[in-house]
Structure 1
Amino acid sequence: MSDDIRVLIADDQSMVRQGFTVLLNAEPGIRVVGQAVDGAEAIAQAAELRPDVVLMDIRMPGTGGIEATRVLTSPADSTVRVLVLTTFDLDEYVYEALRAGAAGFLLKDASAEELAQAVRIVARGDALLAPNVTKRLIAEFSRLSPVTPRPPLRDRVGGLTERETEVLTLIAHGLSNAEIASRLVVAEQTVKTYVGRILAKLSLRDRTQAAVHAYETGLVRPGGR
């Protein structure tokens, strides 16, 4: 059907591509429209097939998943969402993939239910950034970022209000909209409004980029609040 979520699977392992194709095609509202063996083919097929979501392996020969993700998500009018596939949640490349524009990541041993849920989450514009993923992200920032004086707050928040800055900080710590609403004692819809304003003011695509921005600008420090 025309309103199905269109998925492209990019992985150099045939078994992974075939397995995910079978699992996703069995899900209502999801249709696999293509398969790619590397990043270059993923870029070419995405241009032709215009998928909503690309399941992207990180480590592939030739053009890898990180570069392909950067190419697919960099255009200002890009609507494709990239969900990175990895074998280990400690994969050092996950951090770079998120910076490159990935909406989140998924372990290759995910169940059919987890896989379908992940595709639906990123297809609707949300980010798959669970608290355990955020912890890995924080650990990478802690390892890679030198300890330097932070710039003035106004230079780090890009015109955000005090409440929007507070919401951005909570996003960076991995809280969901419901958890943020509970913490701030406001309606979840109010939090969604704040998140939308934050993304618009900072010219960011999603919550993943918002979390990355919060750490890269020093608004939030690893281990700090």
Structure 2
Amino acid sequence: MRIIIADDHAIVRSGFSMILNYQDDMNVIGLCADGIEAYQMVAKYEPDLLLMDLSMPPGESGLIATGKIKEDFPQTKILILTMHDDDEYLFHVLKNGASGYMLKNAPDEELLLAIRTIYNGGTYIHPNMTTSLVRELVNHHEPSPNSNDPFHILSNRELEILPLIAKGYGNKDIAQLLYISVKTVEAHKAKIMDKLQLKSRPELVEYALKNKLLTF
């Protein structure tokens, strides 16, 4: 199977690449550092599977990129690799089309099992996360929307921009990172402040911290 690895840490990319290339049935064909590069490499190489880190600052996060890639390249299966054992992240990436979600501290054998399971058409969820998922399936409904939940309030583009603003990036810097105009950044920033009913950057930073958005 042809695999691309997206992670913002070079040593992590190299480590995963060594593990996978050692397998007879796996071949890593590309390495990238954020969601934008991941999208570009998937478009170019059309891999069978993409290993996607959830948090890749300051570039586009895996959380955002997953939806874009699955919409345009549905044949590529996505396995999310993350340090976040968080229900909201899990539900969001599955809803956006990921086929698996596992923690980075899992043993190598579990990573290989997850990849093979997904490649063969299955879904793999890290055992620590299955309880909450099963609970929601038994109850036959999605997690109850939280009026303060950014995943329900903000668009994908706004979820990209908010953490960058909170980290201190200027409008011009954000525009260059996301390949959009400064005016577009300003418009999104105004919508974010209005939707979240925030009036200053300190309030926005506090909101991002409380909602764990600075890990994007």
Please indicate, yes or no, whether the TM-score normalized by the shorter chain is above 0.5: yes
Structure 2 residue aligned with 1:144:
145
Using the TM superposition, give the Cα deviation of residue 28 of structure 1 relative to its aligned residue in structure 2, in angstroms: 1.4
Partner deviation per Cα, 1:52-74 (whole Å, 9 max, x = no partner): 11000111122111221111111
| Counterpart AA for 1:71 | K
Aligned length: 141
Does residue 25 in structure 1 map to residue 21 in structure 2?
Answer: yes
Deviations 1:121-158 (CA, angstroms, capped at 9, x unpaired): 11111111366433233479445379xxxxxxxxxxxx
Superposed counterparts of 1:44-193, under 5 Å? 44-61=40-57, 62-75=59-72, 78-90=74-86, 92-129=88-125, 132-137=128-133, 138=135, 141-144=142-145
RMSD over aligned Cα atoms:
2.3
Asked if structure 1 preserves the Cα contact closer than 8 Å seen for 2:103 and 2:126, the reply is no
Question: Aligned in 2, Cα 1:22/1:130: closer, same or farther, shift over 3 Å?
Answer: closer
**Which amino acid counterpart does residue 66 of structure 1 have in structure 2?**
L
Contact 2:30 2:41 (C-alpha < 8 Å) held by counterparts: yes
Write the letter of the residue equivalent to 2:10: S
In structure 1, the partner of 2:37 is: 41
Amino-acid identity (%): 38
CA distance 1:94–1:22, change in 2 (3 Å): same
TM-score of the superposed pair, with normalisation by structure 2: 0.59
Q: Give the TM-score, by structure 1 length.
A: 0.57
Tell me the amino acid that sits aligned with residue 2 of structure 2: R
Query: Which structure 2 residue ranges, 5 or more long, are not aligned?
Result: 148-216
CA distance in structure 2 between the aligned counterparts of 1:50 and 1:80, rounded to whole angstroms: 7
- CA shift, 1:9, in A, is 0.4
Contact 2:85–2:128 (Cα < 8 Å) also in 1: no
Task: Give the partner amino acid of 1:105.
Answer: Y
Cα gap change, 1:142/1:91 in structure 2, threshold over 3 Å: closer, same or farther? closer
Specify whether residues 107 and 48 from structure 1 end up closer, same or farther in structure 2 by C-alpha distance, changes over 3 A only: same
